[in-house]
Amino acid sequence: MAKGNAIMARPEASSSAITQLNSGQLRIGVGPIGLARGLHVRQVTHVLLLLRDPTTALSSMDFLHCAGRTGRMSEEGQVLLLYSPARARNVRQLCQALDLPFRPTPLSQVEGLLENEGNPQFGAAENAET
């Protein structure tokens, strides 16, 4: 369902959402991790991953598929991974397996990571449970 400049994509509506994102009609797309496989949207500058379920581990392949939506075609991009303290071990292991730096950052500093356009980086932010 589209609302303003964003869309929540259901798998059955994904081709329409991708068309709208690629044409510039939409600026933000939101969908499940599985929807990212093989997906190409032009000029993606940021990928934000939210790990809500503390019982399901994020695999390195799922992470790569999602993170790979940005930084394509020689462009730079940023990936921000939000997780609860209960997921810290899984995220640390994921970063080690992919040889990525693990830089836990308090949620209060996440906005600064997104504004740091001149220095794209992989970052991880611990999401305080509310």
pLDDT interval class at 1 (50, 70, 90): very low
Read off the pTM: 0.65
Number of domains in the chain: 2
Residue 36 lies in a domain: no
Establish if 118 belongs to a structural domain: yes
The mean pLDDT value for 91-108 works out to: 85
Q: Do 99 and 59 share a structural domain? A: yes
pLDDT exceeds 50 at position 77? yes
How large a percentage of the chain has pLDDT more than 70?
73
What pLDDT, on the 0 to 100 scale, is given for residue 81? 85
* pLDDT value for 96: 92
- Asked if residue 120 has pLDDT above 50, the reply is no
Same domain for 49 and 20, yes or no, is no
Whether residue 87 is contained in a domain is answered as: yes
Asked if the model's pLDDT at residue 116 lies above 80, the reply is no
Residue 40 within any structural domain of the chain: no
In a domain, 37, yes or no: no
Q: Looking at the structure, tell me whether residues 65 and 94 fall in a common domain.
A: yes
Q: Is 84 part of any domain?
A: yes
Q: Which residue has the tokens 């995220």?
A: 91
Contacts for 4 with CB less than 8 Å, ≥ 6 apart: none
Same domain, 100 and 57: yes
Q: What's the CA gap between 120 and 76, in Å, rounded?
A: 7
* pLDDT of res. 106: 79
> Whole domain around residue 21: which residue ranges?
1-31
- Classify 99 as helix, strand or coil: coil
Conformation bin of residue 80: beta by default, left when phi > 0, alpha when psi is -120 to 50: beta
